[in-house]
């Protein structure tokens, strides 16, 4: 029972992580108007600090998780996310919100290298574990779209940070009671997985980091721009931001269930073949969406988000199969630092890119980027096993 409650808390943390990082992107039009910007695109670059620290802070977070303990790091996560969200709500200008979002990004970096190894530590079916975790994380994205939309509409953009911030602090208190104390940090444990040849492991880590980086670029570009894409392509059809937020949330929910399906398949079939199929869906869907409007655009948006979300579980599944639990947080932190830091460029470039070339060119560019991920995945070594090596 305790393990089940702990798993629920850790999965809830994933929803919080992704929700908080997208509140700004969802509310940016209202924030830009209050801060004196005539176009939302001009304010978007001020949020790059959050995306950059989401990656850069993953490495020290992972190291602290292995050497100090994962439970105390998760407590820092819960309370830090809540406090930094309240800090964002108190800002009065673009540079203040940039600084507060950067602090939020630092705390948000804790989740992935800490919580996911905690979830996988005793999992007999890592594929479904990471698949369900990904589903819940994407529900956070959906929550960001719908909750932020309604809070902004009825209470203003500051409430969109205050309410989730208080929820995070409350969950932190609950986690302190639910999570058992660790007898020793992971780095001092004696269990380990069967070794993989060093050269092959290095190849897997490099290629998975490359595909994860590209996946992060697509993830950041789409999740941070989909709200504004719907506003533009539904002009004259639906103009209510709350309704558009609900439509976007529905697309995220539909797309998120791909992670459950993918997770089950990962536990049964070789990863490389599955990964190639999922990645190959992204370029044509993004290219078609570049030309679509109205409801056809919505169908295609749901499709490419399904494929982007569906690609997420693969990296964590590879991690649990090939990396000793005593150092998983550090390896995850290293990979996430590279992938998330590079992909944070999407947040900085999004506003200027849309302003300069429009959504059509942006989506076609994303389709081309997606093709490179397919090529990297093709270079992964074949593997036939479907279960984690014995401990």
Instruction: Show pLDDT as tens, one digit a residue, over the chain (391 residues).
Output: 557 888 899 999 999 998 998 899 889 999 999 999 988 888 988 988 888 898 889 889 988 888 888 899 999 999 999 999 999 999 999 999 999 999 999 999 999 999 988 888 777 788 888 888 888 887 887 788 788 888 998 999 999 999 999 999 999 999 999 988 877 777 666 655 555 666 677 777 788 788 888 888 888 888 878 888 888 888 877 777 778 888 888 888 888 788 888 888 988 888 888 899 999 999 999 999 999 988 899 999 999 999 998 888 888 777 776 666 676 787 778 777 887 777 767 767 777 787 788 888 888 989 999 999 999 988 887 764 334 443 3
In a domain, 388, yes or no: no
Domain carrying residue 176: 2-378
For residue 151, give both structure tokens: 């809070």
Q: Is residue 208 part of a domain?
A: yes
Question: How many domains is the chain built from?
Answer: 1
Q: Is residue 309 part of a domain?
A: yes
Q: Write down the pTM of the prediction.
A: 0.74
In a domain, 389, yes or no: no
Tell me, yes or no, whether 101 lies in a domain.
yes
Is residue 335 a part of any domain in this protein? yes
Report if residue 384 sits inside a domain. Answer: no
């Amino acid at each position: 029972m305790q393990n089940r409650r702990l798993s629920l808390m850790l999965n809830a943390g994933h929803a919080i992580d992704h929700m908080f990082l997208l509140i700004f992107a969802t509310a940016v039009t209202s924030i830009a108007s209050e801060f004196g910007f005539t176009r939302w695109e001009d304010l978007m670059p001020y949020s790059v600090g959050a995306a950059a620290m989401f990656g850069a802070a993953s490495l020290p977070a992972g190291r602290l998780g292995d050497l100090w303990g994962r439970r105390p790091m998760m407590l820092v996560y819960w309370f830090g996310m809540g406090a930094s969200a309240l800090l964002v709500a108190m800002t009065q200008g673009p540079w203040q919100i940039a600084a507060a979002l950067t602090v939020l990004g630092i705390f948000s970096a804790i989740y992935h290298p800490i919580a996911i190894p905690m979830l996988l530590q005793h999992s007999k079916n890592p594929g479904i574990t990471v698949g369900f975790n990904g589903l819940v994380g994407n529900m956070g994205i959906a929550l960001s779209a719908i909750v932020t939309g309604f809070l902004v509409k009825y209470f203003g953009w500051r409430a969109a940070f205050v309410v989730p911030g208080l929820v995070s602090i409350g969950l932190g208190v609950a986690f302190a009671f639910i999570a058992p104390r660790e007898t020793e940090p992971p780095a001092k444990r004696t269990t380990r997985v069967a070794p993989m040849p060093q050269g092959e492991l290095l190849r897997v880590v490099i290629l998975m980091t490359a595909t994860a980086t590209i996946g992060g670029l697509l993830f950041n570009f789409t999740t941070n721009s989909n709200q504004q894409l719907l506003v533009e392509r539904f002009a004259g059809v639906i103009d209510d931001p709350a309704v558009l937020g609900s439509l976007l949330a529905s697309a995220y929910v539909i797309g998120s269930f791909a992670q459950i399906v993918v997770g089950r398949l990962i536990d049964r079939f070789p990863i490389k073949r599955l990964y190639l199929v999922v990645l190959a869906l992204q370029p044509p869907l993004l290219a078609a969406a570049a030309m679509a409007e109205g409801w056809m655009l919505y169908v295609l948006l749901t499709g490419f988000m399904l494929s982007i979300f569906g690609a997420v579980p693969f990296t964590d599944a590879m991690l649990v199969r090939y990396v000793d639990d005593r150092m998983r947080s550090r390896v995850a932190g290293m990979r996430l630092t590279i992938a998330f830091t590079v992909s944070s460029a999407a947040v900085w470039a999004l506003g200027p890119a849309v302003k300069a070339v429009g959504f059509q060119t942006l989506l076609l560019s994303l389709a081309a980027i997606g093709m490179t991920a397919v090529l990297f995945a093709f270079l992964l070594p074949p593997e036939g096993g479907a279960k984690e090596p014995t401990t």
